[in-house]
């Protein structure tokens, strides 16, 4: 099922709608960005943050330098999304709707092109307790859900493979347990796209919650 929203839609209510969530599996979110006007308004920032794939359009109407500027902004806001350029709707459907990579940029990474919204990557060298992470993330979303635009990545919880996480604000998709890691890098790697939240505070808090699980000898 393909859902096309209006240009000003906030993606979160669609992703969190109960009947949709329990009857359909989200495949991917595709966002188009008009290269001539760039990102304008809160909704466009949320749409880029929620995207797995971003298509830059109106390429013929902008200069190379303006296009590069919009591209840099979009990449800084959501470094994990596939970025495709298309003119007059000319795009390979497989490229648009096919499978892609789940990328979390190498740390240290912190984008700073948008005044309020930033992408942070957090890498952990040791497994984290799933219980501690679940408690932490639900608490974060309850208190700061409007400011946590995206959470995605791979979490090492001590199993043979990682847990795949993907969330847009309060909408956390059912975590997926993989039997093995996709590559030789066995570190947890999480991307957060947030508004007015410091990366250091995120990591310190997450580690503090994980330390409680070591006391509990937790999962």
Partner 1 sequence: MCSLCSALLTDHWTEASGGRRGGVLRVQTVNRVLSHFDLELRDWAGRVYVLHDRKGRSSVVDDLGSLWREAELLLGRPLDPLDSALVRELSA
Of 7-26, which residues contact partner 1 (CB under 8 A)? 18-19, 22
**SS3 state of residue 146:** helix
**SS3 state of residue 5:** coil
Please tell me the distance from the alpha carbon of residue 187 to that of residue 152, in angstroms, as a whole number. Answer: 14
Q: Per rule CB under 8 A, is residue 164 in the interface with partner 1? A: no
Closest to partner 1 by CB, 87 vs 143, is: 143
Closest to partner 1 by CB, 170 vs 187, is: 170
Please report how many Cα atoms fall inside a 13 Å half-sphere around the Cα of residue 118, on the Cβ side. 16
Name the minimum Å distance from CB 196 to partner 1.
11
Name the minimum Å distance from CB 51 to partner 1.
21
Start-to-end CA distance of the chain, whole Å, equals: 37
Alpha helix stretches (DSSP H) within the chain: 11-16, 18-23, 41-50, 64-77, 93-97, 130-144, 199-216
Of 143-162, which residues contact partner 1 (CB under 8 A)? 143-144, 157
Name the minimum Å distance from CB 64 to partner 1.
41
User: According to CB under 8 A, which one of 135, 161, 181, 187 is a site residue for partner 1?
Assistant: 135
Name the minimum Å distance from CB 35 to partner 1.
36
Of 35-94, which residues contact partner 1 (CB under 8 A)? none
Closest to partner 1 by CB, 35 vs 130, is: 130
Beta-strand pair 163-168/171-172: antiparallel
CA diameter of the chain: 59
Name the minimum Å distance from CB 87 to partner 1.
39
CA angle 137, 151, 124 (to 5 degrees): 75
Q: Per rule CB under 8 A, is residue 197 in the interface with partner 1? A: yes
Contacts with partner 1 by CB under 8 A: the residue count is 38
Q: Per rule CB under 8 A, is residue 192 in the interface with partner 1? A: no
Asked if residues 104 and 121 have their Cβ atoms less than 8 Å apart, the reply is: yes
Closest to partner 1 by CB, 77 vs 157, is: 157
Please tell me the distance from the alpha carbon of residue 151 to that of residue 78, in angstroms, as a whole number. Answer: 11
139 is written with which tokens? 């608490």
Residues that bind partner 1 (CB under 8 A): 18-19, 22, 129-132, 134-136, 138-140, 142-144, 157, 163, 172-175, 177, 197, 201-202, 204-205, 207-209, 211-213, 215-216, 218-219
């Amino acid at each position: 099922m393909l859902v096309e929203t209006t240009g000003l839609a906030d993606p979160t209510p669609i992703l969190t709608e109960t009947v949709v969530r329990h009857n359909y599996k989200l495949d991917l979110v595709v966002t188009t960005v008009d290269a001539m006007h760039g990102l304008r308004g809160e909704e466009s920032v949320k749409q880029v943050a929620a995207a797995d794939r971003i298509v830059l359009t109106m390429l013929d109407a902008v200069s190379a330098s303006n296009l590069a500027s919009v591209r840099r902004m979009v990449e800084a806001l959501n470094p994990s999304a596939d970025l495709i350029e298309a003119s007059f709707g000319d795009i390979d459907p497989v490229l648009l709707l096919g499978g892609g990579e789940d990328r979390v940029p190498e740390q240290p990474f912190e984008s700073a092109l948008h005044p309020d919204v930033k992408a942070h990557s957090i890498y952990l060298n040791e497994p984290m307790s799933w219980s501690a992470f679940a408690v932490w993330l639900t608490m974060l979303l309850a208190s700061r859900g409007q400011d946590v635009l995206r959470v995605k990545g791979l979490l090492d919880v001590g199993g043979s493979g990682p847990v795949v996480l993907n969330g847009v604000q309060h909408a956390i998709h059912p975590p997926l347990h993989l039997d093995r890691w996709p590559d030789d890098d066995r570190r947890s790697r999480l991307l957060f796209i947030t508004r007015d939240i410091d990366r250091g505070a995120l990591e310190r808090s997450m580690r503090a919650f994980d330390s409680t699980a070591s006391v509990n000898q937790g999962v």
